[in-house]
Amino acid sequence: MIIRKKENWFRMLFVWHGSVLPALLPRLGLLLIISLLVTYFRGIIFSFKVPLNPAPLTLFGFVLALFLGFKNNASYDRFWEGRKLWGALLNTARSLTRQAMTLKNINNNVSVHDFVQLLSAFIFALKHQLRGTEANEDLKSRLNEDQLKIVSASKYKPAVIMRLLGEWVQKAKDESCLDSIQQARFDENFDKLSDILGGCERIVSTPIPYSYRVLLHRTVYIYCFLLPFGLVDSLGWFTPLIVVFVAYTFVAFEAIADEIEEPFGTDANDLALNSMCTMINETIHEMAGEQIAVSQKITQNIID
């Protein structure tokens, strides 16, 4: 995810890293070539003059902008819901750590460190499940051998780790480290973890309907390819410049919507899951009174 300080308005005109422009250059270059050819031949294809004028294209462009706005709103809703879920995960992890730290009669059979490690493992396992990446490397340092064997053999690792967290609480109950009321409070926060997990899985498994995306994608590019035929008579050799600018606006909106539609990925504008995992891991270990290594990566303007 790109995080920048507010920049001067002039500098913003030339921002390259983090914008979708690099990915759009081949498409915009193709549109520029087509616009130059249309302008050179004055809109004539095989002795046939394409009878387009700016009026219908203006009306169609307005309707297309409304549909693009709807697509961007839908994509941003998914992005913002994902961010709220990870914010709730931070709050719930802190609450669970606080509850574990305030237990009485802690003995060698019930280790708060083990609970915090399980909670940290849940966070990293969730990140890897959402991104479809391998989690074992992050889990090795947080789970014991038996736990790692159980979790590694499972498909839905965060759900299995939640079960292990519940077993830790039950063990603490059996050792008289907590009473039934405290156990119920732990269960309430486990339910919140389950809701967060289910909410993230819902975003990943339910994309914007494919047929809607295809329709909008085709419409954007058909409009952009027809645009030079409607402008060539009135703009002449300014047509390629105007077409590329208008196309950049429409195509960039579509590209941004596609990028943030899946907020848990690794694109420049997706959520910074690596940094959020590191921050949650550090804060719960700090609450548990453990020393944490300085693991914050200092980069120019990227938090991944």
pLDDT tens per residue, range 255-288 = 888 888 999 998 888 899 999 999 999 999 999 8
pLDDT given at position 63: 86
Question: Helix, strand or coil for residue 132?
Answer: coil
Tokens of 75: 């994509």
Q: What is the DSSP string of 188-257?
A: HHHHHHHHHHHHHHHHHH-PSPHHHHHHHHHHHHHHHHHHHHHHHHHHGGGHHHHHHHHHHHHHHHHHHH
Calpha distance 35→240 (Å, rounded): 5
- Look over the chain and give the mean of its residue pLDDT values, rounded to a whole number: 88
Evaluate if residue 293 carries a pLDDT over 80.
Answer: no
pLDDT given at position 118: 96
Least confident window among 132-141, 185-194, 291-300: 291-300
Mean pLDDT, residues 3-10: 65
- pLDDT band, residue 52 (cuts 50/70/90): confident
pLDDT tens per residue, range 22-49 = 888 999 999 999 999 999 988 888 778 8
Residues 96 and 183 sit within 8 Å (Cβ to Cβ) = no
Residues 52 and 237 sit within 8 Å (Cβ to Cβ) = no
Evaluate if residue 21 carries a pLDDT over 70.
Answer: yes
pLDDT given at position 1: 60
Give φ, ψ of 44 to 5 degrees: -100, 125
What share of the chain in percent tops pLDDT 90? 58
Q: Are strands 44-45 and 48-49 parallel, antiparallel or unpaired?
A: antiparallel
Give φ, ψ of 155 to 5 degrees: -85, -45
pLDDT given at position 189: 96
Evaluate if residue 299 carries a pLDDT over 70.
Answer: no
Residue recorded with tokens 């732990």: 186
Beta strands in 12-96 (DSSP E): 44-45, 48-49
Evaluate if residue 130 carries a pLDDT over 90.
Answer: yes
pLDDT given at position 7: 67
Calpha distance 62→57 (Å, rounded): 8
Sign of the dihedral through C-alpha 133, 278, 75, 68: negative
Calpha distance 99→88 (Å, rounded): 16
Report the candidate in 205, 209, 207 with the shortest Cα–Cα distance to residue 197: 205
Q: For 263, which DSSP code?
A: T
pLDDT tens per residue, range 206-251 = 988 888 889 889 999 999 999 999 888 888 899 999 999 999 999 9
Tokens of 118: 């399980």
243: left (phi over 0), alpha (psi -120 to 50) or beta: alpha
Greatest Cα pair distance in the chain: 92
pLDDT given at position 289: 86
- pLDDT band, residue 303 (cuts 50/70/90): very low
- pLDDT band, residue 67 (cuts 50/70/90): confident
Q: For 290, which DSSP code?
A: -
Q: How many CB atoms lie within 10 A of CB 276?
A: 19
pLDDT given at position 297: 41
Calpha distance 288→273 (Å, rounded): 22
Q: For 260, which DSSP code?
A: H
Q: Vertex 258, ends 253 and 263: CA angle to 5°?
A: 120
pLDDT tens per residue, range 177-210 = 888 999 999 999 999 999 999 999 999 999 888 8
Percentage helix, strand, coil, to 5, in the chain? 70, 0, 25
pLDDT given at position 300: 37
- Alpha-helix runs per DSSP H in 102-209: 112-131, 136-140, 145-152, 157-174, 180-205
